[in-house]
Amino acid sequence: MISSYASLNRIRDFLAQTRIAVAGVSRDPKDFSRLLFRELRARGYDVVPLNPEAAEIDGVRCYAHVREIDPPVSSVLIMTSPAVTGTVVDECLEAGVKRVWMFRAVGRGAVTPEAVARCQARGVDVIPGECPMMFLKKTGWFHRLHGMVRKLTGRYPN
């Protein structure tokens, strides 16, 4: 099962990074990806948006491709559809990214077994699923409840 590969150690390591690219940040200011983007920035992260159809997101320069980010990042949170995840993972591998988090709150999210396997084969720490909001300190009640439900059902990362 893909989700069993996610571990608290990988999650903590990813969230310990100060500079993170977010692939698939929406141009729609009400989209959840924007909420997460803003939350990470409010917590002091240097967040780099990736969206080939936007020049900027919330006043921050937006990049179309991972290889264009300057200075480069070592961690990428992927919030795209599964159809785009493989392309973003290939760009991450090409750019030497060390950590990839494929977002999932419900359903498949950005996770694809093929993209997870490519990350694993290249030694990239991959988090296949999960929502970062469950693991940030002092988040809203809904995110804490989501984490508690995952713990009660045995689906919380070890």
Instruction: Name all domains of the chain by residue range, CATH numbers in brackets.
Output: 2-152 (3.40.50.720)
Cβ atoms 101, 130 nearer than 8 A: yes
Binned average pLDDT, 10 residues per bin, the chain of 158 residues: 64 95 96 94 97 96 97 97 96 98 82 96 94 78 60 69
The answer, as to whether pTM is greater than 0.75, is yes
Q: What is the pLDDT of residue 149?
A: 66
pLDDT of residue 135: 76
Tell me how far CA of residue 89 lies from CA of 58, 136, 148, in angstroms.
Answer: 24, 24, 30
Give the per-residue pLDDT at 142. Answer: 58
Are 89 and 119 contacting, i.e. CB atoms less than 8 angstroms apart?
Answer: yes
Task: Judge residue 125's burial from the number of C-beta atoms within 10 Å of its C-beta, 0-12 exposed, 13-18 middle, 19 or more buried.
Answer: buried
Residue 47 pairs with which residues in a beta bridge?
20
